[in-house]
Amino acid sequence: MASSEQIILIGAGNVGFHMGQALTKAGLKIHQVFSRSETKALRLASTINCSYSTSFEQISDEASVYILAVTDQAIPKVAKALASRLKGKKPLVVHTSGATPATVLEPCFERYGVFYPLQTFSVEQPVDFQKIPLLVFANRSADLEWLQQAGALITPLIYHIDDQQRKVLHIAAVMVNNFTNLLYSQAERLSKQHDFPFELLQPLIRETVQKIERHSPADMQTGPAIRGDEATINSHLDFLEKNYPDLKELYQLMTQLIRDTKN
């Protein structure tokens, strides 16, 4: 049973904090929390009522699952430090990163994997894990099964995704999250400089997203680019060239990409 394993959570930042809470709420046993920051370690440990440590020497080597919820950059170093602490033991070690292949753990551990919740987190905002897809992977099928079972306790949205797929998925996530947010913030900039409220655009933004919950976005493309409305496109480009040269290139490139989808 998934809930009989002893788990140690390494990292108590945005992801670690919410994952620790979700796992505990689901009945899984977090044995210990590790963070170099005592404030963060204590904040999480006190919330989920477990012990914590701030140095690797104090990390228990008795657990059966170690979850590395640390930054992408820190994963190799933390893995190494953990491996030397676990000498001889063979627990399952997973990281929670979308940008890092599972194989980064291979040199350190016999049993490794990924337990990656696809969402943006911040400690201040409550999270409903039931709505967050969890992308799991393990190099051994029994471990994959355990990750799927444990994951199923916190969300119904479990996907088995390998390193290559997760990389592409991360690029897609950057596009639909980071890049769309940039478009929103540029639209906000235009609204501020021309004295209309940004919230005027909110219904359109909402509708754009609601449409693609029912239809393929490829079928939902509207606007001057797909219509081939050169007069509007040229008038927009003229305006951007004079007033927002940094946005002109973006407008041109996006317009071209939309045109290309027509063919």
Window 58 to 77, contacts with a second copy (CB under 8 A): 72-73
If the CB atoms of residues 57 and 213 are measured against a second copy, the closer one turns out to be 213
The sheet with strand 111-117 has its strands ordered as 51-53, 29-34, 6-10, 65-68, 92-95, 111-117, 134-138, 158-160
The CB-of-209 to a second copy minimum distance in angstroms stands at 5
Stretch that binds a second copy, among 20-28, 30-38, 52-60, 175-183 (CB under 8 A): 175-183
Q: Kindly write out the interface string for residues 80-99 of this chain, putting x where it contacts a second copy by CB under 8 A and - elsewhere.
A: -------------------x
Which 130-159 residues touch a second copy, going by CB under 8 A? 131-133, 135, 157, 159
If the CB atoms of residues 52 and 116 are measured against a second copy, the closer one turns out to be 116
Q: Is 232 in the site for a second copy (CB under 8 A)?
A: yes
What phi, psi does 134 have (nearest 5°)? -115, 120
Q: Is 124 in the site for a second copy (CB under 8 A)?
A: no
**Residue found by looking up tokens 């939902």 in the block:** 220
In the chain, which residue ranges form alpha helices assigned H by DSSP? 14-25, 38-48, 75-85, 141-152, 163-173, 180-193, 202-214, 224-227, 230-243, 245-262
Q: From the list 38, 77, 220, 234, which residue makes contact with a second copy (rule: CB under 8 A)?
A: 220
Q: Is 222 in the site for a second copy (CB under 8 A)?
A: yes
Q: Are strands 158-160 and 29-34 parallel, antiparallel or unpaired?
A: unpaired
